[in-house]
């Protein structure tokens, strides 16, 4: 809804306007009235001539007559401001800043939910909703899917009262909490009898004390009544709660991220140039990329190191073998924006984009392709390359997490072999990163996670097998110090371990539990992977706490109230006629008004740089009340002296 300001013009402005005979309605005779549709182009011809105007910035609370008096010593020239400034003519005089706030609240009085859920075909206009935590009810008035917004009007709840009227035939109801009585015309008043209730008639309801007290009059003394009143609670919906609706006899439930008054809701986003910017309403969301690493290194240096754990040379050789040998990246999969449990190969991404599950162009959705491109274009792509070029270079992992990944890879292989098992031929890595509404990875301020998935045919105690940091010599319980043998009958069962990296502190949290549920599920379905559930819950807690802060630095949100304020401020810089020419313009304006409509009149006005001579005319609608006549064409020919402008 565009902002409309106040038009303030003293009616004395029309005093010198010509009169026209006009028939009102079905009257048989016409009446002489002032032709307020007459228009004079006198000021139009000089509005861009610097010799006739100067800049002026309207202050908060300025009135047209006050500004006229300040500039010209008379309030009578306020009309020139509207003719000289198209914005004032079209949008009116700017409001006071306090009035802007009141106006925004009046025009946007409802509640706005922001949700990352897909609302394209659910939570439709007219649906009734209920907050599952707050218990508040409402009705959907409008939706803005491109902003992920649902505009809701709170609806009153039924409240049942029973009682017997006083001797004055009245019943009084009173609210003691933050509630109000509303919609008295929808109340149901019934007489209670042994045979059942009957609807009462001919009563009246009056609410007082800010609608917290209701008096029901004209009831029958001695009878019992049941009143079903409409009560609106001041309790509001709450952030992060789920809301429920029933559409086509199907219950539907979504989570809302924020609840805010409509006037304070985000109207749009702008870039540094003030241009509108599109966003992804599903953001922030979690992006998962999974890939299988098949190690192609030699086991001999590792076995030698395990056989002689005190030999630093052999230990170093094993580390070099693990870190430097070429490996194979296989089975790259990526989640879509609806859930981290979805699992699509790179070949399927194009189809998912067409279906709307993936949004092409976002940095987050290119990371799997980047990994594949790095690997394919580098014949000597090593584990060290993967850590440096991808984990750090693309995902922005800190050096601490990079070292954890390197240590983890070596520890898994070494410890399983050292415990008499078979070294895993592959390890699956899952990287989790938050994505903002511009589809860019949030790597500097939001947490990131990396998960390991592998099989082992033996139980492993890393402290016993490897010693060193796994021996827990510093008294700190290590998160990753045991490996459990997987079920030989279930080839899909895996060991999972998850690390959390806080990008904004550059530290690693010692939290990497092995989860009770260690299987990827039937047919590779991931939704029962408790490691994924853990990460999703962690991210949801982070989003709930930091929702309004997860906005890219390159764009700025603008609320409905701020938009009104911005439009209001845009009207404050205006042009005003210079004081030395104002009286001349006023005289010429009145003279032209007295002329015949359409007749050209030569006008000479002395500007700041000389006298300007030009022709002007008056045009007006036809006087028969049935539309406008053609305006007289305006032609001008003028000359300037002393540097004046010609038109």
Q: What is the pLDDT of residues 570-612, one digit of tens each?
A: 999 999 999 999 998 888 887 877 765 444 444 444 444 444 4
Provide the pLDDT for residue 133: 95
Provide the pLDDT for residue 328: 65
Residues 274 and 307 in one domain: no
Residues 218 and 309 in one domain: no
* Number of neighbours of residue 514 by Cβ within 10 angstroms: 17
Asked if residue 41 has pLDDT above 90, the reply is no
Region 53-76: mean pLDDT is 94
Residues 99 and 248 in one domain: yes
Structure tokens at 140: 């959907």
* Number of neighbours of residue 618 by Cβ within 10 angstroms: 26
Q: Where are the alpha helices (H) located in 594-643, listed in sequence order?
A: none
Asked if residue 151 has pLDDT above 80, the reply is yes
Q: How far is it, in rounded angstroms, from Cα 22 to Cα 18?
A: 13
Give the pLDDT band of residue 296 (cuts 50, 70, 90).
Answer: low
Percent of the residues in the chain that have a pLDDT greater than 70, as a whole number:
66
Least confident of 94-98, 465-469, 544-548: 465-469
How would DSSP label each residue in 552-594?
Answer: -TT-EEEEHHHHHHHHHHHTSEEEEE-HHHHHHHHHHHHHHHT
Structure tokens at 86: 């198209």
Asked if residue 153 has pLDDT above 90, the reply is yes
Residues 256 and 291 in one domain: no
Angle at 115 between CA 114 and CA 117, to 5 degrees: 160
**Are the beta carbons of 593 and 17 closer than 8 angstroms?**
yes
**More confident site: 157 or 376:** 157
Region 99-118: mean pLDDT is 94
Asked if residue 283 has pLDDT above 50, the reply is yes
Asked if residue 514 has pLDDT above 50, the reply is no
All residues at 6 or more sequence positions from 69 whose CB lies less than 8 Å from its CB, including other chains = 75
All residues at 6 or more sequence positions from 510 whose CB lies less than 8 Å from its CB, including other chains = 476, 477, 478, 479
Q: Which domain holds residue 49?
A: 11-59+576-619
Q: How far is it, in rounded angstroms, from Cα 206 to Cα 336?
A: 56
**More confident site: 79 or 363:** 79
Can you state the percent helix, strand and coil of the chain, rounding each to 5? 30, 30, 40
Residues 244 and 387 in one domain: no
Task: Note if the bond before 284 is cis, omega within 30 degrees.
Answer: yes
b/e per residue, 575-604, with b = 16+ CB within 10 A?
A: bbbbeebbebbbebbeebbeeebeebbebe
Is 503 part of any domain? no
Is 141 part of any domain? yes
Is 139 part of any domain? yes
Asked if residue 411 has pLDDT above 90, the reply is no
Residues 328 and 409 in one domain: yes
Is 298 part of any domain? yes
Region 40-49: mean pLDDT is 81
Provide the pLDDT for residue 375: 64
**More confident site: 431 or 117:** 117
Query: From residue 166, how far is each of 66, 221, 614 by CA, in Å?
Result: 59, 7, 84
Provide the pLDDT for residue 512: 43
Give the pLDDT band of residue 364 (cuts 50, 70, 90).
Answer: very low
Quick one: 116 exposed, middle or buried, by C-beta within 10 A (0-12, 13-18, 19+)? buried
**More confident site: 258 or 628:** 258
**Are the beta carbons of 104 and 564 closer than 8 angstroms?**
yes
How many domains, in total, are found in the chain?
3
For 460-487, write each residue's pLDDT tens digit.
Answer: 887 777 665 555 545 444 455 677 888 8
Residues 365 and 389 in one domain: yes
Residues 257 and 287 in one domain: no
DSSP letter, residue 90: H
Provide the pLDDT for residue 641: 31
How high does pLDDT run on average in the chain?
77
Is 88 part of any domain? no
Residues 323 and 188 in one domain: no
Angular region, 228: left φ>0, alpha ψ -120 to 50, beta rest: beta
Provide the pLDDT for residue 145: 94
Q: How far is it, in rounded angstroms, from Cα 315 to Cα 302?
A: 8
Provide the pLDDT for residue 102: 93
Is 635 part of any domain? no
Quick one: 531 exposed, middle or buried, by C-beta within 10 A (0-12, 13-18, 19+)? buried
Give the pLDDT band of residue 489 (cuts 50, 70, 90).
Answer: confident
Provide the pLDDT for residue 343: 74
Provide the pLDDT for residue 417: 78
Provide the pLDDT for residue 230: 94
Is 624 part of any domain? no
Give the pLDDT band of residue 54 (cuts 50, 70, 90).
Answer: very high
Provide the pLDDT for residue 576: 95
Residues 130 and 228 in one domain: yes
pTM: 0.72
Residues 273 and 150 in one domain: yes
Is 519 part of any domain? no
Residues 179 and 251 in one domain: yes
Asked if residue 516 has pLDDT above 60, the reply is no
Asked if residue 177 has pLDDT above 90, the reply is no
């Amino acid at each position: 809804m565009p902002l409309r300001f106040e038009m303030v013009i003293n009616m004395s402005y029309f005093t010198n306007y010509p009169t026209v005979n006009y028939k009102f309605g079905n009257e048989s005779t016409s009446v002489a009235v002032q032709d307020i549709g007459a228009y004079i182009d006198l000021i139009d011809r000089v509005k861009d001539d610097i010799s006739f105007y100067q800049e002026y910035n309207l202050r908060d609370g300025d009135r047209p007559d006050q500004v006229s008096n300040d500039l010209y010593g008379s309030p009578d020239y306020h009309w020139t401001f509207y003719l000289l400034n198209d914005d004032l003519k079209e949008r009116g005089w700017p409001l006071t800043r306090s009035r802007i706030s009141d106006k925004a609240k009046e025009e946007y009085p409802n509640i706005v939910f922001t949700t990352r859920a897909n609302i394209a075909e659910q939570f439709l206009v007219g649906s009734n909703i209920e907050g599952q935590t707050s218990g508040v009810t409402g009705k959907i008035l409008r939706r803005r899917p491109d902003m992920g917004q649902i505009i809701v009007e709170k609806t009153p709840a039924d409240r049942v009262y029973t009682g017997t009227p006083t001797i004055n035939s009245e019943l009084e109801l009173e609210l003691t909490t933050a509630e109000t009585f509303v919609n008295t015309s929808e109340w149901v008043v019934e007489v209670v009898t042994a045979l059942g209730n009957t609807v009462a008639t001919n009563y009246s309801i009056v609410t007082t004390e800010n609608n917290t007290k209701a008096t029901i009059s004209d009831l029958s003394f001695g009878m019992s009544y049941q009143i079903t009143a409409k009560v609106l609670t001041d309790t509001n919906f709450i952030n992060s709660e789920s809301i429920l609706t029933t559409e086509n006899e199907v219950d539907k439930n979504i989570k809302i991220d924020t609840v805010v008054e409509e006037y304070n809701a985000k109207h749009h986003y702008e870039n540094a140039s003030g241009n509108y910017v599109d966003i992804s309403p599903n953001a922030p969301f979690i992006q998962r990329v999974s890939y299988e690493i098949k190690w192609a290194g030699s086991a001999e240096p590792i076995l030698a190191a395990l056989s002689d754990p005190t030999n630093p040379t052999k230990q170093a050789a094993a580390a070099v073998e693990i870190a430097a040998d070429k490996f194979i990246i296989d089975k790259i999969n990526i989640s879509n924006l609806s859930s981290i449990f979805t699992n699509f190969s790179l070949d399927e991404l194009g189809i998912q984009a067409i279906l709307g599950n993936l949004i092409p162009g976002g940095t987050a959705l290119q990371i799997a392709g980047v990994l594949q491109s790095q690997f394919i274009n580098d014949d000597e792509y090593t584990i060290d390359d993967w850590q440096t070029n991808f984990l750090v270079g693309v995902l922005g992992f800190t050096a601490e997490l990079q070292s954890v990944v390197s240590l983890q890879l070596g520890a898994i292989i070494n410890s399983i072999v050292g415990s008499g098992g078979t070294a895993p031929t592959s390890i699956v890595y899952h990287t989790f990163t938050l994505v903002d509404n511009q589809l860019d990875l949030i790597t500097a301020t939001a947490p990131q996670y990396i998960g390991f998935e592998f099989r082992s045919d033996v139980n492993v105690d890393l402290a016993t097998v490897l010693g060193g940091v796994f021996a827990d010599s510093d008294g700190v319980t290590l998160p990753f110090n045991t490996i459990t043998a997987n079920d030989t009958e279930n080839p899909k069962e895996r060991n999972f371990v998850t690390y959390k990296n806080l990008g904004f502190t550059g530290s690693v949290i010692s939290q990497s539990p092995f989860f009770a549920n260690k299987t990827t599920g039937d047919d590779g379905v991931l939704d029962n992977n408790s490691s994924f559930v853990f990460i999703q819950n962690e991210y949801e807690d982070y989003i709930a706490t930091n929702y309004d802060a997860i906005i890219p630095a390159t764009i700025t949100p603008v609320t409905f109230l701020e938009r009104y304020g911005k439009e209001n401020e845009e009207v404050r810089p205006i042009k005003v006629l210079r004081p030395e020419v104002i009286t001349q313009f006023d005289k010429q304006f009145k003279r032209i008004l007295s002329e015949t409509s359409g007749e050209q009149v030569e006008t000479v006005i002395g500007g700041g740089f000389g006298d300007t001579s030009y022709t002007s005319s008056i045009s007006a609608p036809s006087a028969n009340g049935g539309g406008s006549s053609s305006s007289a064409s305006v032609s001008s020919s003028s000359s300037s002296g002393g540097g004046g402008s010609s038109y």
